Structure 1
Amino acid sequence: MKKQFIKILTIMVLFVFGIGTSAYAFTAGYSSFAELYASEEATDYTIKAADMGRDTTILALHGGGIERGTSELVEALKGYGKYNTYLFEGLKATDNGSLFLRAIDFDEPTAVSLVKNSDYTVSVIGAAGDEEITYIGGQNKILAELIRLHLINKGYNVKTLSISDRIAGVMNSNIVNKNKLFNDSYQIGGVQIAISKGLRDKLVTDSSTLNDYSGSINEALSVSWPKIVPHLQKITKSEGILNKFNPSKRNFDKKIEHILEKDAKTPKELIENTKE
């Protein structure tokens, strides 16, 4: 009865602050991998890591039966041969949600090492809801916007999350934001893609949608993003050597916001906006 009361109270608080519950499911899970390791059978989950020596790592933290469809998307992206990939997959016949480890608590050593040695990171997680929608967030706002534009230009419904959203992926503690310093000076962070259950189910059952969706993300990461990086590097270089001792980079953030305020409608427009 007490647990039920706490759950109801939590829902009420979330709605008061405008966060809502439609974008995610309530899952308590574990607070560390060590805790999960000590409590679960080794046969209940598997870890699949592929370090290809690439500069980008794509993660499925809740793969397999935990959040169906996330593994399938990361595996599809792995097929392009351009990314390191990591999958933590639930293998239980039922109740794979018990294996849930929040992104802000995800400290499994192999994943931590891969992210730490990557220039860019993307995490694919699940969201609740039967409608087909993608929620995108993370600290790397330019890359997030680039992926969003590639997806919406293919007809997908994509919502950019704000800081107040529970799955916005903007916290420093989120593993996706713990990648290498950008240009050796700025913590640019990563991108978190949260996909609704409705869309994840379609990715699993419809190979053409999976190929189209993964292809859009691949194009953003492998074709458009490399065109933007040199322009962002120029911004960090123009800020001076003292920036190495100031990871917050307020001026850099302001310039990123200025680029985003131009409200590009296509990936090509966003690329052009970063040149100015």
Structure 2
Amino acid sequence: MKKEMIRILAVAILFLFGISTSAYAFTAGYHSFNELAAAEDPADYSINVSNTGSSTTILAIHGGGIERGTSELVEALGGYGGYNTYFFEGTKPSGNESLFLRAVDFDEPEAASLVRDSDYTVSVIGAAGNGETTYIGGQNKLLAELIKLHLAAEGYDVKTLNVPSRIAGIMDSNIVNQNKLFNNYQIGGVQIALSKGLRDKFAADPGTLSDYSGAVNEALSESWPLVASQLQKIIKPNGNGFLDKYNPFKPNFDKKVKDILKKGAKTPKELIENAEE
């Protein structure tokens, strides 16, 4: 009852100050997996991990009944083969929102271990809104842009997010950004937030889910390896490992990434060509 009152009060405050909640599904949630596990019945959630040994991991940290439609996309992507997948799913008949654990607090041990061993990571979460919109963020701006361009080419509405949006996915503490260093540079991962309207469409129309997942898979399996190979050429090999942020060559690397994005590619092919230049 106390937690429910806190949720109601928080939403009331947001409404009072005119802060829009349309871009994300607001919920208080827990602040660590240990906190969640201590309060919830283990029978009310499930954890499923498929470690194929891939360099890429795709996460559904709000799966099952928590944010319906997110597990479905990750499962569809896993069906292409090759990717590691992780699912944390609510299995209650109702009230699965109580199992919500924010991406910046998501420290479930199996997920954390899988991400640490992965070069590239993608997290699929839910957002509010009855429209069919994808909000894409994360620290890996080039991969995010590639996924956006592939989805846009198929006619999907995709919006790129930055601060101050709560689902921008750019914080270091977000599990999607805690993957392996890219030759001593932390480029992080990509967070895909699906509006409720789009998630409902996936449930009602398997063809849409297939088309959407196919576009994301093409970005990950065909376009990204070409861009990553070009990034390897501009990286200095003597980075500082865990002191990556103090790497004297990192500003140069970041600038090159920004320069590629500034060219404003309209198609995946153009972005790949810009990276090659």
Q: Verify same fold: TM over 0.5.
A: yes
Give me the whole-angstrom Cα distance separating, in 1, the residues matched to 2:108 and 2:5: 32
Q: TM-score, normalised by structure 1?
A: 0.94
Number of the residue aligned with 1:175 = 175
> Do structure 1's residue 200 and structure 2's residue 199 form an aligned pair?
yes
Contact 1:82 1:222 in 2 (8 A): no
1:21-76 C-alpha deviation (Å, 9 max, x unpaired): 11111111111111111111111000010000000000000000000000000000
Counting aligned pairs with the same residue, the percent is 65
Deviations 1:194-240 (A, max 9, x none): 00000001112211101000000000000111111111111113xx5
Give SS of 1:125's match.
strand
Report which stretch shifted further, 90-99 or 4-13.
Answer: 4-13
**Alignment size in residue pairs:** 269
Distance apart, 1:14 and its partner CA: 6.8
TM-score, scaled relative to structure 2: 0.93
Q: Which moved more, 1:140-149 or 1:4-13?
A: 4-13
Structure 2 regions of 5+ residues with no counterpart? Answer: none
RMSD: 1.6
In the other structure, the counterpart of 1:144 is 144
SS in 2 for 1:241: coil
What code does the residue aligned with 2:211 have? D
Q: Can you give the 5+ residue segments of structure 1 that lack an aligned partner in the other structure?
A: none
For residue 10 of structure 1, the aligned residue among 14, 17, 26 is 14
Deviation of the 1:243 alpha carbon = 5.2
Q: Which residue number in structure 2 is paired with residue 92 of structure 1?
A: 92
Q: 1:178 to 1:22 in 2, by over 3 A?
A: same
Tell me, yes or no, if the aligned pair for 1:77 and 1:218 is still in contact at 8 Å.
Answer: yes
* Structure 2 counterpart of 1:73, one-letter code: L
| C-alpha separation in 1, matches of 2:54 and 2:209 | 23
1:13 Cα deviation (Å)? 5.0
Give the Cα separation in 2 of the matches to 1:73 and 1:154: 16
Q: Is the 8 A contact 1:52 1:84 kept in 2?
A: yes
Counterpart secondary structure, 2:170: coil
Whole-angstrom distance in 2 between the partners of 1:216 and 1:205:
19
Deviation at 1:252, TM superposition (A): 1.1
| 1:1-276 equivalences in 2 (<5 Å) | 3=6, 4-13=8-17, 15=19, 20-183=20-183, 185-237=184-236, 241-242=238-239, 244=241, 247-248=244-245, 249-276=250-277
Question: Could you say if the C-alpha distance between residues 41 and 246 of structure 1 is closer, same or farther in structure 2, counting changes exceeding 3 Å?
Answer: closer
Quote the Cα distance in structure 2 between the aligned partners of 1:242 and 1:76: 37
8 Å CA contact 1:14–1:21 kept in 2: the answer is no
Conserved in 2, the CA contact under 8 Å of 1:140 and 1:191?
A: yes
